[in-house]
Copies of this chain bind each other. A is one copy, B any other.
Amino acid sequence: MPGKREQNREQNRQALIKAVLDSVSEKGISETSVSEIIQRAGLSRGMIHLHFGGKDNLLAAAARSSSEEYYDGLEALLQSGGDSPQERVEMIVRGDLSEPVLNRRNVSIWYAFRGEARNRSAIAEYSDTRDDRLRNMILNAFTRIVREAGREDPVLSARDATHGTIALMEGMWTDYLLHPDRFDRDEALRIVFRFLAALFPAHFSLAGAVPPKN
């Protein structure tokens, strides 16, 4: 077991990362200064240089942390889910649009980092990993769905279905970013599933995806 030294060390590292994510979500990247970070973390000025070697590295670590949190949650969800490919797709979509994942804080953080990713290679790197993991999960499911559909000429290749589904979810995130107030989670879910139902009518039923209207 780790001694108190190591324990404190890790605790402070995490406190710095959390402080960055809090600040980025509330004030944006441009206002996330060293002073802001250490004030939120309640630590001393030198800690950033000590633990991360500089502010940029800390930002990159925070971006990675946020990304990993997202994926760990999604994969945990998949563990508990059914085995059929349509169930897996459904769980991913539901998970991706669920409140613990898609919320103001996460959306703010995600888009703030993306906006700067182009120019901060350290941040940009994690982005690909994230993307590939999600893409593979969905691609595996759609590959089975397309195969089961068993037509000679499928409406859509598994690759295209994956690409489109991810784009659809990404677009919903953007919608949330731009209109957090009027965003309707059920509506977003309904739309994604209607699109999927139109593409694969045998696999995605509308009834399962849409709450009764009354």
Q: Are the C-beta atoms of A175 and B171 separated by less than 8 Å? A: no
Select one of B29, B118, B163 contacting A187, CB under 8 A.
Answer: B163
Find residues 166-214 in chain A having any chain B CB closer than 8 Å to their own CB. 166-172, 174-175, 177-179, 187-188, 190-192, 194-195, 198-199
Number of chain copies forming the complex? 2
Residues of B near A116 (CB, < 8 A) are 28-30, 112, 115
Residues of B near A31 (CB, < 8 A) are 119
Indicate whether A34 reaches chain B with its CB closer than 8 angstroms.
no
Q: Chain A's interface: helix, strand, loop or mixed, by majority?
A: helix
Q: Are the C-beta atoms of A164 and B160 separated by less than 8 Å? A: no
Q: How far is the CA of A177 from the CA of B2 in the complex (A)?
A: 42
Residues of B near A195 (CB, < 8 A) are 164, 195, 198-199
* Closest partner residue, chain B, to A194 (CB atom): B156
Indicate whether A127 reaches chain B with its CB closer than 8 angstroms.
yes
Residues of B near A30 (CB, < 8 A) are 29-30, 116, 119
Q: How far is the CA of A171 from the CA of B93 in the complex (A)?
A: 14
Indicate whether A131 reaches chain B with its CB closer than 8 angstroms.
yes
Indicate whether A70 reaches chain B with its CB closer than 8 angstroms.
no
